[in-house]
Amino acid sequence: MKRLLKLIVRFTALCAATLLSLGCAPSLQERRTAANQAIDLLQRSDFDGAHKSATDVLQTDADNPYAALVKAIAQYKSTMHQFFIDGRTMVVGAAVTRNINQEYLRMILARTTTHLTEVSGLLAVAAKEPQISMDLCVACMNVDWNQDGGVDQRDTQLFELEVDAFDNSIPRDDPRRKPTFKLDHGDVIWAQAFISFHLAVLNLLEAYDYSDINAAIIMSNDPIFTIRLKHPEKVTSAQQHILDGLAFSLSAREAYLAETDDEREWLPNPEQRNHPIPLEMTAEFYDTWKLVVTDLQKIVSGEESLSVAELIQLGDHQHPNPPRGYINAGKLFNNAKDIVIDVERMEDAFEGIERGRSREEVERLLEYVFGFCYVKNGVPSPLPRRIDRMKDEVERGHESLVRKLKYLFWVN
């Protein structure tokens, strides 16, 4: 009986300790207070200090959403700056030596992938908190964005708003040129999509070996070279990152639509009017957003294909006898192969198309360029028809092409 009582006491104490530890989890306000220094350093353009301060907070509270968001932003900035510096060094070296340093390229890609994967994890922590919000003025930051050795006018004006909602120029001293955004939950998910697309590109670049390009540069008279698939698993990973990014895009859309506040929005919903970027988002735009992303999900997964006939008719020239077949982008990921480039053959094919524009010549070129991704039969995606509808709206003057491009680049 005594042993049983001891077990009951120990079990009760364990339960009490567990409940106590759960009850002691920091509140959202306490977590915000703990991360205030990191937020302040970020707002003052001290990315290194913000990164270190946020890291210190996360060591004590790994689920602090504010510290995670600050560290994600700071780490993204430092990672991409280093990526462009290394890329510039590699390009200059290749121009001088007529040789691409393969080891250096692999190191750049691997390091950037590792760091952005960490950024993705940090954003996942921040996205767990639906009430997160943080003020940030990107255009106010004192940063050498182009990495030319000093902060000049090109850096300070890089993220300024130049025109208002009526396309009128905003004066240089107008505070509207440097708005402070209130970043919230939807914006964090938007950033998750943004990073996922970065990782997809990096994985695709890592998948291939570019030694043959070196040979082509050195020999210069060799019209055929091969970009060899070295890591097929990277292609699979790229596909998953694209699908993740598209899923995050839809989640961000839902989060934006669910917002009831209206304060300095990065990307507003149809009911919000307080947004520094002069882009009003209509209900129609949000509907199109969902439809286009859903189309892209099916295209990337291989469920649907792009009709060549529909694609080629999107241009200004309407072909009376357009080429047949479909482009199945999913095959590019699901059955990746070496990329063989025959320069002479491609030149001959293009010249033939320019001369006669026959269906057979276009189909031969498509078969050569897209290989196994060019198929005779497929489930047609409605995406080209949606693009054609938007093109028709532009031509009818319902909405300008510039405005549609602004939507495209801002949302994606």
8 A C-beta contact, residue 136 and residue 208: no
Return the structure tokens found at 190. Answer: 């938007």
Q: Which fold has domain 28-134?
A: 1.25.40
Element (H, E) at 128: none
The whole-angstrom distance between residue 329's C-alpha and the CA centroid of its chain comes to 19
Cβ-proximal residues to 93 (8 Å cutoff; 6+ apart), any chain = 99, 101, 104
User: What sign results for the dihedral spanned by CA atoms 315, 321, 326, 327?
Assistant: negative
Confidence of residue 407 (pLDDT cuts 50, 70, 90): low
Sheet containing strand 224-229, strands side by side = 208-209, 224-229, 339-342
Residues linked to residue 342 through DSSP beta bridges, in sequence order: 224
Q: Hey, where are the domains in the chain? A: 28-134
Q: What is the pLDDT of residue 86?
A: 93
| Mean model confidence pLDDT for the chain | 84
Residues linked to residue 135 through DSSP beta bridges, in sequence order: 182
Range among 9-23, 145-159, 197-211, 362-376 with highest mean pLDDT value: 197-211
For 234-261, the pLDDT digits (tens) are: 999 999 999 999 999 999 999 999 999 9
For 160-170, the pLDDT digits (tens) are: 888 887 778 88
Range among 156-160, 229-233, 342-346 with highest mean pLDDT value: 229-233
Q: Which one is predicted more confidently, 397 or 199? A: 199
DSSP 3-state of 225: strand
Of the chain, the end-to-end C-alpha distance in Å amounts to 68
Cα separation values, 73 from 49, 90, 122, 238, Å? 12, 26, 9, 22
Cβ-proximal residues to 357 (8 Å cutoff; 6+ apart), any chain = 319
Q: What is the pLDDT of residue 136?
A: 94
- Name the CA dihedral angle for 60, 66, 67, 71, rounded to a multiple of 10 degrees: 160
For 128-143, the pLDDT digits (tens) are: 999 999 999 998 998 8
Q: Which one is predicted more confidently, 359 or 2? A: 359
For 289-304, the pLDDT digits (tens) are: 999 999 999 999 999 9
For 47-92, the pLDDT digits (tens) are: 999 999 999 999 999 999 999 999 999 999 999 999 999 998 988 8
Taking residues 12-30, report their average pLDDT: 60
97-106, 174-183, 391-400: lowest mean pLDDT where? Answer: 391-400
Full-model pTM: 0.86
User: What sign results for the dihedral spanned by CA atoms 45, 46, 47, 52?
Assistant: negative
